[in-house]
């Protein structure tokens, strides 16, 4: 600490004795508050020596300085070891806060983590109507318009809850104060095993790493602890770069003779692209000098979702049969399913002649005739309102899976 670099404690035992003389239960009655005047009065120190003594206490993280209300205000200090239980005004203030984040420790958290938290984050302590918002197991921080509560679990001693209120479509994951808190805990927890967990409702928590893993695999719905979870419920808790990383990459396989229908599909895909939910690719996006065969295979292999537009011309195209369909089938038979493949009947054709494809669901799915009870299937182009069919298809792919 600047100003204390050349200071030497000649008699550590005397220094410890002075600390005990200062930090008594009387401090707890004032909720841990210490002033320079108190150090001067209690320890009979001159002002300069008292300043150095307080500096040492800050260095050893025994106290931290309260944010000043203004430049003219004399500094006050807090000893986190002598704080009171959570006061009623804090309970009332936090009534509409939700625990969106949880830091879960493998064992118990060390008391030193709590002290480090106060020491690193205390400068942003929330102050309102003459009251600072802190207590024995937590503190409330404010920066600009964002207010966040950090509360240590005093019963189980194995987790820290990060609570905040949320208005409308606000995305807490982008908030600078939250990111500062999370980065501080990464620094504080270097010696401890822990994981960051996210909750959309303050009740059910899922590890952040698990969510990122599911997103990387292109899955929206997954099983967690015996229940279904939806990645999309948690996206607002992630920072922008991680939300965008969740965008699925779509590859469209089609016959060049079906170009007009590709244009229809692309218009609908663009809606999801503009909403940052997907990126997409088809061979019309090839650049002139690229090796087209390598590029097509690279795009197929990197895609999370393959949309295969079936027609007689599609199956009649040699390259599609030998390369694109095979890549799709291989991905479906792989031990680890990293892709979703959607076979879409674009124009009527006898796809049953290709049993390796026909054994999978073909969209639009077959319907039952109300009069005859027989199943029948209509291709996309057989529908009068093709926009409606594309909308239903993409909603099923991107929003219901």
pLDDT of residue 390: 97
Same domain, residue pair 262 and 348: yes
pLDDT of residue 66: 85
Instruction: Check if the beta carbon of residue 173 is closer than 8 Å to that of residue 242.
Output: yes
pLDDT of residue 71: 66
Question: Considering the domain boundaries, does residue 9 fall inside one?
Answer: no
Look up the pTM and report it.
0.67
Same domain, residue pair 235 and 252: no
Assigned token pair, 239: 């920072």
pLDDT of residue 379: 97
What CATH number does residue 282 fall under? 3.40.50.10140
pLDDT of residue 182: 95
Same domain, residue pair 214 and 103: yes
Instruction: Check if the beta carbon of residue 127 is closer than 8 Å to that of residue 187.
Output: no
Last residue of a domain, one of 216, 242, 268: 242
Domain span at 32: 23-81
Same domain, residue pair 182 and 142: yes
Same domain, residue pair 73 and 190: no
Same domain, residue pair 276 and 231: no
All residue ranges of the chain with pLDDT < 70 are 1-10, 69-72, 168-169, 218, 288-290, 335-337, 401
Q: Given CA atoms 280, 285, 289, 292 in this order, what sign does their dihedral have?
A: positive
- Cis amide linkage into residue 103, ω under 30° from 0: no
Same domain, residue pair 220 and 270: no
pLDDT of residue 333: 85
Question: Considering the domain boundaries, does residue 372 fall inside one?
Answer: yes
Write out pLDDT tens, residues 6-64. 566 667 888 889 888 888 888 888 888 888 888 898 889 888 888 888 888 888 888 88
pLDDT of residue 266: 97
Same domain, residue pair 43 and 94: no
Same domain, residue pair 270 and 377: yes
Last residue of a domain, one of 225, 242, 259: 242
CB-based contacts of 30, cutoff 8 Å, min separation 6: none
Assigned token pair, 107: 């064992």
pLDDT of residue 166: 81
Q: Which residues pair with 342 in a beta bridge?
A: 307
Domain count, the chain: 3
């Amino acid at each position: 600490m600047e100003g204390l670099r050349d200071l030497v404690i000649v008699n550590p035992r005397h220094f410890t004795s002075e600390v005990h003389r200062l930090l008594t239960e009387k401090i707890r009655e004032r909720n841990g508050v210490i002033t320079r005047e108190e150090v001067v009065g209690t320890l009979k120190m001159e002002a300069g020596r008292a300043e150095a003594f307080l500096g040492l206490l800050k260095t050893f993280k025994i106290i931290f300085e309260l944010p000043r209300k203004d430049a003219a205000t004399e500094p006050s200090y807090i000893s986190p070891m002598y704080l009171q239980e959570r006061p009623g005004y804090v309970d009332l203030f936090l009534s509409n806060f939700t625990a969106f984040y949880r830091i879960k420790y493998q064992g118990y958290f060390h008391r030193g983590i709590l002290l480090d938290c106060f020491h690193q984050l205390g400068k942003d302590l929330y102050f309102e109507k003459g009251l600072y918002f802190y207590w024995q197991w937590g503190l409330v921080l404010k920066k600009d318009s964002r207010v966040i509560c950090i509360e240590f679990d005093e019963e189980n001693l194995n987790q820290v809850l990060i609570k905040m209120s949320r208005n409308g479509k606000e995305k807490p994951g982008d908030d600078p104060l939250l990111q500062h808190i999370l980065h501080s805990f990464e620094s504080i927890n270097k010696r401890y095993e822990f994981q960051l967990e996210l909750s959309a409702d303050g009740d059910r928590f899922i590890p952040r790493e698990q969510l990122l893993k599911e997103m990387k695999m292109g899955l929206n719905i997954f099983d967690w602890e015996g229940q279904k979870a939806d990645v999309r419920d948690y996206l607002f808790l992630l920072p922008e770069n991680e939300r965008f990383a969740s965008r699925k990459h779509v590859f469209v396989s089609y016959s060049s003779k079906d170009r007009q229908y590709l244009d229809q599909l692309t218009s609908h895909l663009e809606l999801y692209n503009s909403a940052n939910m997907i990126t997409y690719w088809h061979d019309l996006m090839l650049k002139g000098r690229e090796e087209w065969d390598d590029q097509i295979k690279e795009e197929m292999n990197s895609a999370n979702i393959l949309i295969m537009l079936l027609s007689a011309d599609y199956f009649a195209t040699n390259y599609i049969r030998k390369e694109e369909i095979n890549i799709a089938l291989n991905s479906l038979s792989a031990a680890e399913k990293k892709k979703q493949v959607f076979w879409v009947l674009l124009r009527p054709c006898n796809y049953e002649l290709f049993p390796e494809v026909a054994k999978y669901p073909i969209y639009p799915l077959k319907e039952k005739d109300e009069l005859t009870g027989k199943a029948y299937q209509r291709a996309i182009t057989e529908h009068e309102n093709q926009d409606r069919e594309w909308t239903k298809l993409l909603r099923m792919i991107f929003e219901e899976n």
